[in-house]
Amino acid sequence: MSSSHYDHPDLPSPWVSEVADGVFAYVQPDGSWWINNTGFIRGERTVLSIDTCSTERRTCAYLAKVEEIAGQVPRALVNTHHHGDHTNGNCFLPFATVIGHERCREEMLRSGIVRPDGLFEPVEWGDLTPAPPFVTFDRRLDIYVDDLKIELIHLTAAAHTTNDVVAWIPEHRVLFSGDLVFNGGTPFVVMGSVAGSLEALSMIMELEPEVVVPGHGSPGGIETVAACDAYLRWLQQSAEQAVVAGLTPLEAARELDLGDFAALLDPERLAGNLHRAFAECRGVGPGEPIDLAAAFADMVALNRGQPLHCMA
């Protein structure tokens, strides 16, 4: 299958950045819905991948680049959470050890391959089969690429999801954050927790990373974490005020002035985020079920009734 982005000719090609010796970020512009980042760590004896991609085409292009740079395909794979943009491509590494949080495995087994056509613009997903983690952990797991230690940490009960894992490389002060951090995109917490996300971001800042590879958007520094923190604090405060005013999440989303956050990609996520924030204002615990169908319907409504923009 061709690795070209033939169906989106104006979209920039993915690019690779060596963010530390042997540590690579694979960045997919523009970082909007279903266009995620991955990464890989090259050793002499093995290669570790952080996540895969949403489609067959994107994953095959990523793995070809890994093999070009590292000389081999990954023998181990860490999933930062269960969402399909980070896990759909797992099946193209059939001989790799797949590692993730225990709830990541549970969610992938429950949902299978998700192809949300109708909600999003049409995507050519390719030939995908579920391949959930078969090595799981709860709080922490240390793994090694040669002698380089990578600390896998589940920071909070729920943040972006209930099964978020960061990959922290203390020797290089590099953090792969998964979708706890978006750079240039609207944070998304409808399946997790606003309060839990703020807690997780605070813990990330305590690590003092020098490089943060976000789940979406370009690598950056601690300022990318602070920007997500600022959005979520604004969201939390806005939700509290809207609940007191008796507004619905969609009404609040339509009334709010995004201000400093207006330039973020996928602004319709505000409606979904408000569903989670409203639930927390009313005592729903982190990661507890809410009406996701209603939350996504309100995001579509905020998007002028059009399917959500997706160029995966």
pLDDT per residue as tens digits for the range 49-62: 999 999 999 999 99
Q: Which amino acid is at 230?
A: A
Which residues are paired to 49 by β-bridges?
40, 77
Fold (topology level) of 15-302: Metallo-beta-lactamase; Chain A (3.60.15)
Q: What is the pLDDT of residue 114?
A: 87
Query: For residues 60 and 54, what is the distance between their CA atoms, to the nearest angstrom?
Result: 11
Whether residue 4 is predicted with pLDDT greater than 70 in this model: the reply is no
Mind listing the pLDDT tens digit for each residue in 75-87?
999 999 999 999 9
Determine the pLDDT at residue 7. Answer: 58
pLDDT value, residue 193: 98
pLDDT, averaged across the chain: 96
3-state class (DSSP) for residue 75:
coil
As a whole number, mean pLDDT of residues 18-37 equals 98
Task: Please tell me the distance from the alpha carbon of residue 73 to that of residue 38, in angstroms, as a whole number.
Answer: 14
Helical (H) or strand (E) element with 151: strand 148-153
pLDDT of 214-233, one tens digit each? 999 999 999 999 999 999 99
Burial label for 208, CB within 10 Å (0-12, 13-18, 19+), is: exposed
**pLDDT range class, residue 245, cuts 50, 70, 90:** very high
The pLDDT score that the predictor gives to residue 117 is 85
Does residue 242 surpass a pLDDT of 60?
A: yes
pLDDT digits 0-9 by tens, 109-161? 999 998 898 899 999 999 999 999 999 999 999 999 999 999 999 999 999 99
Q: Which of 8-12, 25-29, 155-159, 182-186 has the lowest mean pLDDT?
A: 8-12
Please count the other Cβ atoms lying within 10 Å of the Cβ belonging to residue 127: 8
The pLDDT confidence band at residue 8, using thresholds 50, 70 and 90, is confident
Indicate the SS3 state at residue 45.
coil
User: pLDDT at position 2, please?
Assistant: 36
Residues facing residue 99 across a β-bridge = 78, 135
Mean pLDDT of 202-215: 98
